[in-house]
Every structure is written in C-alpha cells, then in structure tokens.
Amino acid sequence: MNTDKASRQARLWLPLVDSAYTLAVRERVRELVEPHAEAIDRDDIYPKSIVKQLAALGYTSVTLPVQYGGQGLSFEHALAAFEEIAVASAAVAVSMISIFQAQTMIRLFGNERLKETFLPQFPQGLLAAYALTEASHGSDIRSLDTKAERAGDEWVLAGEKHFITSSDGAELFVILAQTEVGVSVFAVPRAAAGLTIYEGRNSATFGLRNGPHMNLRLQDVRIPAHHLIGTEGKGVRQAVTVLDHSRTIAAAISLGIARAAFDAAYAHVAERVAFDQKVLQFQGIQWYLAEALSDIDACRLQVFHAGRALDQHLDIDRYSSEAKLRAAEVATRTASMAVQVGGAIGTMVNAPFGRFLRDAKTYEIAGGSSEILKNTIGKYLIRLTQAPQ
C-alpha cells in the first residue's frame, strides 16, 4: 500500500480500543490478507491457510480465556480485530465468525469435558462451522427437521443442514437438531462416520464469498453423550445468546466493509480529474464523502458501545441487534456511494467497488436479517413495559 494512503487511513480510522493492539492487527492484515482479497472473492475459495495463520496470531480466540490458550481479551478487542480483518476481506472475516460462533457455544454452554477437548484446539487453528439452517428453516429455527435421538451413551443424528458457511474446510461442526424435548445443540467432528458434505444447488452467494455454502448430510451419525452442548431442549435460547455475541462481530465486519469502500472512493476521487480539477474538489462529491464519514464515525461508536455492553452483560439483545442493523445499512449505503463516485470504474468487475457493495448487501441478511433484528429490538421494548418499575 502506498504511504499516502496508509497515513490517510491512520488519520481517518483512529482505533477505538487499545491502539497498540488494533494497529498491530491492521499491519498484519495488510500483509497476510489484503493481497488475497480479490482472488478469494473472484474464485469463491475458502481461505484455509490464511485463517490458520490468523488463528496462530490469536485472532480466532481473542475472547477465549487464557486457561484454554486464548488471548483472554475483551469483546471490544475482538471487534477491533474483526473490523480490521474485514477492511481487507469481509470473506476472511466471515470465515472466522463461524469459528467464533462454534467456540462461543462451547465456551458458554459446554460441559467441562467438552471444553477441555475442543477449546484448546481453537488457538491451534481449529476450523469450525455453525449449522442452524435447513431447507425449510432459516429465520425460524424453533423446530427442526434434523433429529437427534439418545441411544445409550450416544446421540444419533439424522437429517440435513443447508447453506453452511465455511463447511468446506471445517474440522468441527456445531449443529442444532430436534430432540424429544426441543431443539438442542451438538458438537460433531468432521470425521464422524455418517457425516458427508456436498455442494447443493444454492451454494454460491454474490457477496461474502468465502467458498461455497455446503450442505451437511447426517446419516445416523453417532457422537458421545457428552457432545450435547448445554441443556437438552434449550438450543434455541443458547443459539440466540451466541447470535447476540456474533451479531456484534458481524456489525464490526460491516464497519470494515464500509471503511474499505470509503477508502477506495476517497483514493479514486482524490486522483481522478474532470473539468480540469480533481473530482474531490466538487462540492457535490465532498458531500457524499462527508455523509458517509459521519455515518461510519457514528456507527463505530455504536458498535464499540455494543461491545462494552457484551463485556458488562447489559441488554445484549438490544445493543447487538441495533449495532448489526445500523452497521449493515451504513455499509450498503457507503458501498453504493463508492460505486457512484467511482463513475464507470465504480462498476467495473475488476475494481473492488462491486465487491464492497455485494458484501455489504449480503450482510443485511446473513447472521440475522434486518427484519429479525428489528423484531428482537421490538421484543426488548415490549419486555421493558412488563418489567417492574
């Protein structure tokens, strides 16, 4: 990256938490991730070796306690890491969010044996995927077609999960399945007999392209009884809690996309000449950038505020939903502006503007659609009226 651009970015995007940590992530991401971002998107590949390298640097286990080999840092640190990674490649960040979700489910709800088995593997680069969705169940996972039955000291799983990010490279799956008393959550190693992965008809998305979203087929997959994560029948509640964590991370990824789009737009208009002057000199163009910068600055404060709420266990459903809702919208708005000020170059397939717009829009749906987030905030408001005064 040229030094003008790097110093402009340093001025524009001051770290909001632990400057030394954030700037170190920024530097490493520039080396390890940025050069590959375009190819990952174009060829829709799972960035296995990059994720392993980032894991070795501790970025897949930022909030994991030190006793399991994690960094033991705050949630705000995790947000800073994901924001910086997403500036370079939202696809790489999304590969890491699947790992974070699986890890968080085990960390928050797993029994000691499960934690001892799997958590120390994450800092060593364990790749994991999180499987909720089925052909007939996306937003609504209150009952599922994938079944799990208890048979002696084992669980037996049968069914199909669809559209699972990162499943091509995953070594561990955290899977939601229906048991007798409700939805429950299970840790299923990739090597389990009866588990196969195949590419379904709807495997490729136009944004957040980190390899095809694969389908999992579970044919009488037997796992030990202690691989039940948390409480049987409480799977939806647990999944919602994990989503409250990962939605804030998703918001940080959207912020990264917005920043990348802004940087690309700025770099373009600062150089491009029209009517004998730099495009940046037109007031109409400055206004686009001014609005986008105000949006991103406000949104960054909101997302890091949501991170603090998570660290302090305060109304996390509200703050995480608000953060993801806003950040996804800001990213799409900013990426759309970037295409506009890019002129024809903004629309070219070999320019990055299209990637930012596709990634941003896709994140209005993945990881909790904007409609579901508004429902969650609505439920919070109703709950407030019912709370004792």
Ligand X SMILES: Cc1cc2nc3c(=O)[nH]c(=O)nc-3n(C[C@H](O)[C@H](O)[C@H](O)COP(=O)(O)OP(=O)(O)OC[C@H]3O[C@@H](n4cnc5c(N)ncnc54)[C@H](O)[C@@H]3O)c2cc1C
Residue 210 CB, nearest approach to ligand X (Å): 9
Residue 130 CB, nearest approach to ligand X (Å): 5
Q: For ligand X, which is the closer residue by CB, 122 or 304?
A: 122
Residue 221 CB, nearest approach to ligand X (Å): 17
Residue 280 CB, nearest approach to ligand X (Å): 34
Reference 226, options 105, 111, 104; nearest CA is 111
Cα dihedral value 110, 183, 75, 363, nearest 10: 140
Reference 225, options 164, 172, 184, 167; nearest CA is 184
Reference 261, options 208, 328, 342, 335; nearest CA is 335
Burial 333-370 (b: 16+ CB within 10 A, else e): bbbbbbbebbeeebeeeebbbbbbbbbbbbbbbbbbbb
Q: For ligand X, which is the closer residue by CB, 177 or 341?
A: 177
Reference 320, options 244, 242, 236, 237; nearest CA is 244
Binding residues vs ligand X (CB under 6 A): 98, 129-133, 138-139, 163-165, 205, 208, 213, 362, 365-366, 369, 371-372, 375
Q: For ligand X, which is the closer residue by CB, 43 or 153?
A: 43
Q: For ligand X, which is the closer residue by CB, 74 or 203?
A: 203
Residue 253 CB, nearest approach to ligand X (Å): 11
Residue 140 CB, nearest approach to ligand X (Å): 6
Residue 303 CB, nearest approach to ligand X (Å): 20
Give the start-end residues of each E strand in the chain: 128-131, 147-151, 154-164, 172-179, 182-189, 195-198, 214-224, 228-229, 273-274, 277-278
β-pair type (172-179, 214-224): unpaired
Residue 375 CB, nearest approach to ligand X (Å): 5
Q: For ligand X, which is the closer residue by CB, 55 or 208?
A: 208
Residue 332 CB, nearest approach to ligand X (Å): 14
Q: For ligand X, which is the closer residue by CB, 351 or 366?
A: 366
Which phi and psi (to 5°) does residue 137 adopt? -135, 110
Residues in CB range of 316: below 8 A, 6 or more apart: 244, 245, 248, 306, 309, 310
Q: For ligand X, which is the closer residue by CB, 258 or 366?
A: 366
Token pair recorded at residue 193: 């007999």
**Beta carbons within 10 angstroms of residue 308's beta carbon:** 15
Cα separation values, 326 from 56, 297, 333, 365, Å:
32, 12, 11, 13
Q: For ligand X, which is the closer residue by CB, 15 or 182?
A: 182
Give the residue closest to ligand X by C-beta. 138
Helix (H) or strand (E) holding 367: none
Q: For ligand X, which is the closer residue by CB, 73 or 366?
A: 366
Which phi and psi (to 5°) does residue 183 adopt? -75, 135
- The distance in angstroms from the start CA to the end CA of the chain is 56
DSSP state of 204: -
